[in-house]
Amino acid sequence: MADNKAKLSPEKIKATRLAGGKRMLTVKEGLPPGKAYSVDEAVKIIKARAKAKFDETVEIAMNLGVDPKHADQMVRGVCNLPNGSGRTARVAVFAKGAKADEAKAAGADIVGAEDLVEIVSKGTINFDRCIATPDMMGLVGRLGKVLGPRGLMPNPRVGTVTMDVTGAVKGAKGGSVEFRVEKAGIVHAGVGKASFTEAALVENIKAFVDAVVKAKPQGSKGTYLKKVSLSSTMGPGLKVDATTVASGPVV
């Protein structure tokens, strides 16, 4: 180990450390720091450098000109990715009677009412998405401390409190992605897999950006969409020219 280090120049050692290790130095090779790529260029590079033994997730991060500490600057919503997310979500539905039957027929993994509330209240959560009919929210509301921190609490603003159980379940199963701005004004989400075609990824990315832009709160002042970055699970992060991903104005 010492002999190998001795063969490296101080510049190479510094570059390796700054990159985050030898692997990251390799995947970042030839990529000028700070360069902004078009979405098509970024997707092409990300796909070419996704060399992990598993199908890497392509992720987007957006820096927004909002302060989530103010209620009128909260950004939250849902986006139905045109080509799916590449992962199959486990969906739980709080419903009774005919709506419970409808949820099962639509492909929900877990369906229940009081019994499901009791299971979840004990900390057993075997699902990734949670949907509820409006009449169940009196019971589901008690699970706020359990579901809230995990981002699973049903909310009418993102379509997870609804009487359209079939549509909600199929959306969750088919690739709908919820988003919510974090404290630092950042929204991030998975928008597909490295195995997707370039065209499919670009279409998903543009759909997601448009959904976030449409969710711009009235309290937002100045530039709304400040920065967009793309990366894969094990790959480099690339800055993307916002004008190449948004269908309308990004201010």
Give the model's pLDDT for residue 78. Answer: 87
**8 A C-beta contact, residue 66 and residue 185:** yes
**8 A C-beta contact, residue 209 and residue 62:** yes
pTM of the model: 0.75
Superfamily in which the 91-173 domain is placed by CATH: Ribosomal protein L1/L10, domain II (3.40.50.790)
Structure tokens at 40: 């098509």
Is domain 31-84+177-244 in CATH 3.30.190.20, yes or no? yes
Phi, psi of 122 (to 5 degrees): -90, 0
Please state the domain extents for the chain. Answer: 31-84+177-244, 91-173
Distances (CA, A) of 166 to 91, 102, 131: 12, 6, 10
pLDDT digits (tens, 9 = 90+) for 31-77: 777 899 999 999 999 999 998 899 999 999 999 999 988 888 999 88
Structure tokens at 210: 């448009």
Query: Confidence band (pLDDT; 50, 70, 90) for 158?
Result: confident
244: which DSSP letter? G
Asked, colleague to colleague, whether 31-84+177-244 and 91-173 share their fold, the answer is no
